[in-house]
Amino acid sequence: MSDKAKKIVIVGGGIAGLSAGIYGQRAGFNTVIYEKNTVAGGSCSGWYRQGYAIDNCLHWLTGTREGTAAYQMWNELGLWDKNPEIFKRACFWSSEYEGETVTLWPDAEKTREEMLKISPEDHDEINAFIDLVKLGAEVIENGIKPKELAHTISTHESVMSDRKMFRYSMRYFGMNNETWAAKFKSPVIRSLILDFCPKEYESYWLVIAYSAYVAGNADIIKGGSIKMAQILTDNYLALGGKLELGKGVKKVKTTGILLDNGEKVDADYIICACDVNYTFKNLLSRKYVPITLKRIYDERKKYPLYSACQIAFAVDGLFEEIPDTLSFACEPVEAAHEAYDRIGVKNYRAYGEYIAPEGKTVIQVSLNQYKKDYIYWKKLYTNNHDDYVREKNNVAAAVENAICAKFPQYEGKLTLLDVWTPYSYARRNNDTQGAFMRYITTATSMNAIIPSEIVGLDNVFLAGHWLLYPGGVPSAALTGKNAIGHIVARENKR
């Protein structure tokens, strides 16, 4: 790296920031990432409690199938350099209702058979769903054309670029999960749809996500989120990038940044790779808010955000009764303003040996939370920390009771590892309302794309999962790449 190389300062060491750093180093820039936490990875992270690992992100990693755009991008980022083992989860999701269970199996035909056996009267809806899943998987398996690579990183977009797929998907457009679920007579299939993701989600989200899983493009790397963040961090450092951990950024100016500790850092370019709302509110100025975001602010109801209250337990045993994720009915569990009469339990044993000592595992339950819940947790935390802790423990106790009522053989075998709330995400990552995914695409919202370039600021760019539908780690990484692309274009012009 020449001393004369232009300097890019990147705010945030999540997947978007690390991606910008890697592409920036490769393009010959001098990059420095400033990350407020003491570890990089952002939302794609995990932590250890009592010798057990809590994986806090990857349920699926889009881009595990060779030949797809996302696989290629991960390749450029060096994710495959050390051949991390890729594994397919035992199933995508299972739901149980009054003794009946349906599962989204790796083989979509098996899912079709199981659903038809349970509910022959839902024959039309089941066949439409599975036919479309198989068509989507076929499109992914055939790979996508190189010219599409630049802008179709998500499974959703690459699948939708196929005309037949688009035509067949029309029945799901403009319909949310709640409406779709109501089309099924079978209560267990209805439950599956609503257990998988929030009811506001546009319904083809499940179709597309399941297609990706069936095609082997939504698997997991052994080691999960911790491993992924570590590989990208190592690659960035190996390319000569500088990572300043535990250094929060207070303000961004065109000349550089001001750190929380008062230090000023000069830069030729700045990439804000953290929460986009936080960026305009705290780091820059609201006067630079792009039109797409303004529209979202004006039509807030169309663009909901969600977060979660999550609970992790160590299990003395492997919990083989749940090979991956199972949702089931329970006595109501209350968390903030919500009451849940179903919970989903995910078993992390398959993620790798690091998860738990031999013969043991970690399970997690994630309860969807919304704005009013975020406010509840925030107030509790701010007003009386003891109450906050007590309330978290109450939620954990209710969840433990629900699990043990269903699986009495685990009575006395669960140890609480951690409970974290929407406010934990806000404190840790500066996530708006604790939202760790971008705005939900509902039946009435557009797939709002937020540009990386900021009108009025020549050398400041945005990156991060907020910018690109559907969010998640591939979108985050692509926006990091795109931000560097803009800087390269600017330098070439000069």
Ligand X SMILES: Cc1cc2nc3c(=O)[nH]c(=O)nc-3n(C[C@H](O)[C@H](O)[C@H](O)COP(=O)(O)OP(=O)(O)OC[C@H]3O[C@@H](n4cnc5c(N)ncnc54)[C@H](O)[C@@H]3O)c2cc1C
What is the binding site for ligand X (CB under 6 A)? 11-17, 34-37, 42-44, 56-60, 248-249, 273-274, 429-430, 436-437, 464-465, 471-473, 476
Amino acid at 352: G
Containing H/E element for 118?
A: helix 108-118
Give me 39's structure tokens.
Answer: 């570890």
Minimum distance of ligand X from residue 471's CB (angstroms):
5
Minimum distance of ligand X from residue 163's CB (angstroms):
27
Minimum distance of ligand X from residue 242's CB (angstroms):
14
In which residue are the tokens 């068509």 written? Answer: 135
Task: Give every CB contact of residue 198 below 8 A, 6+ residues apart in sequence.
Answer: 177, 304, 306, 368, 440
Beta strands 7-11; 269-272: pairing state: parallel
Question: Can you give 198-239 as a three-state secondary structure string?
Answer: CCCEECHHHHHHHHHHHCCCEEEECCHHHHHHHHHHHHHHHC
Give the up-direction half-sphere exposure of residue 245: CA atoms within 13 A in the CB hemisphere.
Answer: 10
Considering the complex, state which of residue 188 and residue 395 has its C-beta at the smaller distance from ligand X: 395
Considering the complex, state which of residue 2 and residue 38 has its C-beta at the smaller distance from ligand X: 38
Considering the complex, state which of residue 165 and residue 249 has its C-beta at the smaller distance from ligand X: 249
Minimum distance of ligand X from residue 398's CB (angstroms):
20
| Best CA proximity match to 70, nearest among 219, 235, 274, 275 | 219
Amino acid at 325: T
Containing H/E element for 156?
A: helix 155-160
Considering the complex, state which of residue 57 and residue 226 has its C-beta at the smaller distance from ligand X: 57
Minimum distance of ligand X from residue 256's CB (angstroms):
14
Considering the complex, state which of residue 340 and residue 407 has its C-beta at the smaller distance from ligand X: 340
Considering the complex, state which of residue 126 and residue 212 has its C-beta at the smaller distance from ligand X: 212
The answer to whether the CB of 91 falls within 8 A of the CB of 220 is no
Cβ burial of 262 (10 Å; 0-12, 13-18, 19+) is exposed
Minimum distance of ligand X from residue 213's CB (angstroms):
11
| DSSP letter (8 states) at residue 416 | E
Minimum distance of ligand X from residue 3's CB (angstroms):
26
Amino acid at 208: I
Considering the complex, state which of residue 12 and residue 125 has its C-beta at the smaller distance from ligand X: 12
C-alpha 39/C-alpha 35 separation (Å) is: 8
Minimum distance of ligand X from residue 369's CB (angstroms):
12
Considering the complex, state which of residue 119 and residue 217 has its C-beta at the smaller distance from ligand X: 217
C-alpha 465/C-alpha 285 separation (Å) is: 20
C-alpha 43/C-alpha 62 separation (Å) is: 16
Considering the complex, state which of residue 25 and residue 186 has its C-beta at the smaller distance from ligand X: 25
Query: What are residue 232's phi and psi, to 5 degrees?
Result: -65, -40
Minimum distance of ligand X from residue 34's CB (angstroms):
5
